[in-house]
A and B are shown apart, each in its own frame.
Chain A
């Protein structure tokens, strides 16, 4: 888990506690961070994660309220419960951060990701790709006689499974947006 691969035994004699708390109980949480849409705000958030050694599994950001200059950052992160708690506290105390929502614990949430997949092939493989795309409700947004570009939205898991199916059928390239999420209900 530790990038330095420090053996646990060497920790017992250090003034720093070198015991890696990430060694147990890793959880994945989706956080929604509402920030002022000001220059450098994304760098600030990313810098917090890299500077303090937290993980980013996926991250999306866009302005959601033009008049109010607000952007929403959706970040999927992994860590122990203590690390997740610390990440939220560290985010919340940043000056341009207005709110931090942990969508994983604050009740049910909808998570969606958009992906574009380029699949090249001929004959039976091409037909099979199109058939599977239909099952997964992927749209064809570009086509040539030898290729398709599929657009699909869904949970990251759904996109993973679709991509796995496309791989033997000629998957050439893929672009994913990362997760956007909202809590269910009001």
Chain B
């Protein structure tokens, strides 16, 4: 029995049938029929944002912290173009999103109508796939396909552009099970022969390391559980990218900490010195590899990735395994047990001894201060006071983000939301709201820098309206800290445009939004203030005035390999050559 309904009603029905509970959106002329349907139902909660970029980042925070598909609804023209940054962010970090945009009526497309933009054209390179639906008869099926595409294979954002006349027109509704999705079925099972080769290499490896990434988190909680089991079974050290933090617990005994440009010394040296690298769900990003030519020169490399185009894209590997992390680890672990596999114990003990030497360097040590709040100290205290709580962390982008990754410990996946690939300043505040909407009773903290935070601060209104008690922990150094750091190291301390002038009074700003703010500059006040923030029942803006000139270390200087990390400020002088101006 087919049900006839309008396109607008189909949208809402299809979202319900896809078990969508929350939509982040902003109304406008071209989506009014859909908003009219939203008004007349109670199953789907609509979160009214203050800017469409906020809607996409909220949907990302929601998706990343739940493992579900995030959904956003925006209008045509400016509504859709405002979504572009968020879509690109989600594409680079493989976050499943379905974004619905309104479009001018089909008969006006191409006439430069009011609020018309070529949305599918603009979003083609920043979505996994997109559709312009001109026929109401295929609208429902397209929405179901969109959810399938967003969550299958390597997850990513998709967009459906729906002209207003299609929203008004009537057609038969297609249920999810009738949607044709057969042709898009990415391979999830890894090749058995390659998995065998991996296991064989693991049995003889003398200096192995697991290098894991966001793919483990994206594969679901089972992948993290299997990863832990595999690490325990082998006793191999493990490091992770920024995106993969939490898949293996920070308290785990094989944990080396994050790797990469601002990763830990021991993690990077293990990558450089290993003889077997097992990459699981990471993509050899340039923040990880440093100079390609000298990247881990003596290792055999295994790469597990669900996206075949990730394999051999940057680094040529010896054992490519295309498949979903959960499936591949399941098969590998079963094989490991079947074969009664043993590791090379003597060599592994020696390897761990070497790693202990690197760990003894204590690369995260910093010069403490009793007068100024060091940003590292602020995060150490935040970690100490919130450890063990039901906690989710989001970040903005910059120094604070790297410090958060270094000084906060993550015990479980889906607890750490950060803009890794695109590096989107302004991500953290809306993302924290999306996380809080999904987990209303949890502690959600956005570790921010003042400059990033200002980019989407209008979303405090959303937090207030929907009683999302997000904690905005702003490490305020009145600088664009990472830009300042690079100018310090690369551009002769000429701090061009990298300070925050005319900052608002964050406490008064909090009051203006109707929530609570605090400003702290004395390290002695820090603990009490953090506790006040945690206990406060509502959104909270914490203006933490920190040391203004702190550099984020350790750091792999631009264009250097892993084994040429700099550890402290005294080593930064002349660490980067004069030609470094060409880099990012």
Contacts and interface: CB of A to CB of B under 8 A. Distances in A.
A44 B309 contact: no
Contacts of B535: none
Determine the interface band of chain A, counting residues with CB < 8 A from chain B: 20 to 34
Interface stretch (B92-100, B118-126, B168-176, B421-429): B118-126
B580 interface: yes
A19 B289 CA distance: 14
- Most chain-A CB neighbours within 10 Å: which of B120, B286, B309, B311? B309
A98 B182 CA distance: 11
Contacts of A14: 558-559, 579-580, 582-584
A33 to B, nearest CB: 14
A15 interface: yes
B367 interface: no
B28 to A, nearest CB: 23
B559 A15 contact: yes
A125 B293 CA distance: 59
A110 interface: no
A13 B313 contact: no
Contacts of B251: none
B543 to A, nearest CB: 32
A40 B309 contact: no
Contact of B582 (A18, A19, A82): A18
A9 B579 contact: yes
Given A40-B124, A47-B124, A93 B577 contact: no
A39 B132 contact: yes
B461 interface: no
Contacts of A17: 286, 289, 291-293
- Most chain-B CB neighbours within 10 Å: which of A16, A85, A92? A16
A95 interface: yes
A12 B579 CA distance: 8
Contact of A13 (B149, B308, B312, B583): B583
A122 to B, nearest CB: 47
Given A12-B559, A40-B120, A95-B128, A89 B309 contact: yes
Contacts of A11: 559, 582
Interface in A76-107: 82, 85-86, 89-90, 92-96, 98
B290 A15 contact: yes
B167 to A, nearest CB: 19
Contacts of B286: 15-17
A44 B579 contact: no
A44 B186 CA distance: 19
B292 A13 contact: no
Contacts of A90: 309
Interface in B526-540: none
Nearest to B153: A93
B88 to A, nearest CB: 12
Contacts of B153: 93
B183 to A, nearest CB: 6
B290 A98 contact: no
A156 B186 CA distance: 36
A94 B121 CA distance: 16
A43 B132 CA distance: 14
Interface residues of B, number: 38
B39 interface: no
Interface in B507-533: none
B184 interface: yes
B125 A15 contact: no
Contacts of B124: 40, 43-44, 47
Contacts of B50: none
Interface in A1-34: 6, 9-19
A44 B576 CA distance: 40
A51 interface: yes
- Most chain-B CB neighbours within 10 Å: which of A15, A19, A39? A15
Contacts of B355: none
- Most chain-B CB neighbours within 10 Å: which of A90, A92, A93? A93
Contacts of A10: 579, 582
B46 interface: no
B470 interface: no
Interface string B284-314: 0011011111000000000000011101110
B582 A89 contact: no
B129 interface: yes
B579 A13 contact: yes
Contacts of A47: 124-125
B580 A92 contact: no
Interface string B547-584: 00000000000110000000000000000111110111
Contacts of B121: 40, 43
Nearest to B186: A93
A85 B313 CA distance: 9
Contacts of B579: 9-10, 12-14
B308 A95 contact: no
Nearest to B261: A15
Given A16-B286, A17-B292, A93 B558 contact: no
Nearest to B316: A82
Nearest to A14: B583
Contacts of B154: 93
Contacts of A39: 132
A93 B290 contact: no
Interface in B90-146: 120-121, 124-125, 128-129, 132
Contact of A16 (B120, B307, B313, B583): B583
B584 A86 contact: no
A27 B120 CA distance: 33
A124 to B, nearest CB: 53
A86 B309 contact: yes
Given A40-B124, A86-B309, A92-B308, A13 B584 contact: no
Interface of B: 120-121, 124-125, 128-129, 132, 149, 153-154, 183-184, 186, 261, 286-287, 289-293, 307-309, 311-313, 316, 558-559, 576-580, 582-584
27 contacts: A9-B579, A10-B579, A11-B559, A12-B577, A12-B579, A13-B576, A13-B577, A13-B582, A14-B579, A14-B580, A14-B583, A14-B584, A15-B261, A15-B286, A15-B558, A15-B583, A17-B286, A17-B292, A40-B120, A40-B121, A40-B124, A43-B124, A47-B125, A86-B309, A86-B313, A89-B308, A93-B154
Interface of A: 6, 9-19, 36, 39-40, 43-44, 47, 51, 82, 85-86, 89-90, 92-96, 98
Given A12-B559, A14-B584, 13 more contacts: A10-B582, A11-B582, A12-B579, A13-B583, A14-B579, A17-B289, A17-B291, A17-B293, A39-B132, A44-B124, A86-B309, A93-B153, A93-B307
